[in-house]
Amino acid sequence: MKILLDCDPGIDDAIALAVALGSPDVELVAVTTVAGNVGLGATTANALRVCAFLGREDVSVVAGADRPLQRSAVLAHHVHGSDGLGGAPLPEAARPPDPGFGPDRIVSEIMGAPGEVTLVAVGPLTNVALALRREPRIAHTARRLVVMGGSYTAGNITAAAEFNIHADPDAAAEVVAAPWEPVLLGLDVTLRVRVGPVVMDRWRGFGTLSGQLLEPALAGYLDSRTRADGGGPAVHDACALACALQPDMFTLTPATVRVETSDPETLGRTTVELGPATGAHALVATDVDVDRLWALMEAAFGRVSADVRGR
């Protein structure tokens, strides 16, 4: 499966990238980066660092938008740490990002392989909106768009809004309104996929992958909502990658989705009406088989862990 990962690494983005690199069914055609959890320089450097650490310097990494479409940047250093990876001791990559601009790369990959490229977007949707503005036909030409973003209950960056949507609500509104039946995985599902003590005990078996990335990054993941009850941090972005690979792992419900772009009190809120009778234009995840998701992730970790040990 051809996947283009648009991301803002970010701890859970880095974990999603590791899952992609460890999945034999994935042909990762490119990684495009966007400002979000941290600034664009850091998100791009982090994508390069993770690829280098996992021995995949062949993966194309292209920097995208460094700010939202029309608003001031909203970052999440308070969650992901000053470097975006919670202080995980990954060395700097030896190579720079590839030339070009992320939205242009999204367009070229999708239009160059009609019906084949699944776009997995796990950061603010600025790059995707800019790609649509450049070439609206990508909405009909992509195999599928899978988004980590939104919520049909409560938010996390504000009471009303999830971070990725809130960080660029105008971009999100444009992307959701485009004619490609996006699949949205929001907090209602991703907060069920949390790395508690039992899961972390298993992950310690992945050697260097665990010691240099998984454990230190997750230890630095300061998401107060997912830690308040001791349940551990949620791996939001890995859910989107898993849904692209095995959509039957999730319950996907037809829905209409609207993004609030006017009211400052609820900016970025996703209003979701579930059910086909609503004139649905999207699919919204409402449930997940958590055990299957852990199995998929851990199989991928096992493969990349073996690659790290072998170098």
Q: Kindly list the catalytic residues.
A: 236
Concatenate the DSSP letters of all residues of the chain into one string.
-EEEEEE--SHHHHHHHHHHHT-TT-EEEEEEE-SSSS-HHHHHHHHHHHHHHTT-TTS-EEE--SS-SSS-----HHHH-TTSSTT--PPPPSSPPPSS-HHHHHHHHHHHSTTTEEEEE-S-SHHHHHHHHH-TTHHHHSSEEEEE---SS--SSSSS--HHHHHSHHHHHHHHHSSS--EEE-HHHHTT-B--HHHHHHHGGGHHHIIIIIHHHHHT---HHHHTTS---B-HHHHHHHHHH-GGGEEEEEEEEEE--S-TTSTTPEEEEESGGGT--EEEEEEE-HHHHHHHHHHHHHHHHHHHHT-
Place of tokens 């202080």: 87
Tell me which amino acid residue 236 is.
Answer: H
Beta-carbon count within 10 A of 216 CB: 19
